[in-house]
Amino acid sequence: MTEIIAYQPTDLDTILEITRRAWEPVFPLMHEDIPDYVYDAFYPNGWRERQLADVEAVCRDNETDLWIARSGGVASGFLGLREHPADSMGEIYIIAVDPNFQREGVSKALMEFAFVWMRKRDLKMAFVETGGDRGHAPARASYESAGFERYPVARYFKKM
């Protein structure tokens, strides 16, 4: 069973370790699927440095409610939620599951927790965003299995 508890600043190293492990298989496939100049612009020093810095910034901001999933007493994933009252929308801003716990219901438990969190705030819809590349295919499948519908969006880049 997965238990979900509030993030504490002492959990930062745990979150960063899950981040490293969870995104390790994602970024190489993403790199293959997008132009080098785009990848290199976003990750000039490699994906780890940027991703870890971004996640650490989320852990320190006041906009995101953070939660840790524990399975068998071990940190198995984390979740960051944001509220957008003007749109009556809750956002799963970040979600990650340690590879050792993937396909064991942790993502589902985190998303169900998020939906309860949003309903308590009387929000009318949930939002999550992810990449369209092969590396993010498991995330898309997870969101779709939770009932999310894909919103058509196009993002274009041009090398200058």
In 3D, which of 136, 91, 132 has the Cα closest to residue 114? Answer: 91
Task: Specify if 73 maps to a domain.
Answer: yes
How many helices and strands, by DSSP H and E, does the chain display?
6, 5
pTM of the model as a whole:
0.92
User: What b-and-e string marks burial along 62-100, b requiring 16 or more CB atoms within 10 Å of the CB?
Assistant: eebbbbbbbbeeebbbbbbbbbeeeeeebbbbbbbbbee
Task: Specify if 51 maps to a domain.
Answer: yes
**Residue type at position 103:** R
Q: What is the pLDDT of residues 77-134, one digit of tens each?
A: 999 999 999 999 999 999 999 999 999 999 999 999 999 999 999 999 999 999 999 9
What is the Cα 83 distance to its own chain's centre?
15
Q: Would you tell me how many other CB atoms lie within 10 Å of the CB of residue 15?
A: 23
pLDDT of residue 1: 85
Task: Specify if 89 maps to a domain.
Answer: yes
* Average pLDDT for the chain: 95
Tokens of 47: 């994906």
pLDDT band at 153 (very low <50, low <70, confident <90, very high): confident
Task: Specify if 91 maps to a domain.
Answer: yes
**Domain holding 44: CATH number?**
3.40.630.30
Say what angle helices 47-60 and 12-23 make with each other, to 10 degrees: 140
Task: Specify if 109 maps to a domain.
Answer: yes
Domain count across the chain: 1
Range of the domain at 134: 2-145
pLDDT of residue 134: 94
In angstroms, the CA 33 to CA 103 distance is 25
In angstroms, the CA 55 to CA 73 distance is 23
What is the Cα 7 distance to its own chain's centre?
15
Q: Give the HSE-up count for residue 99: Cα atoms under 13 Å, Cβ half-sphere.
A: 9
Per DSSP, the three-state class of 105 is coil
Task: Specify if 156 maps to a domain.
Answer: no
pLDDT of residue 91: 97
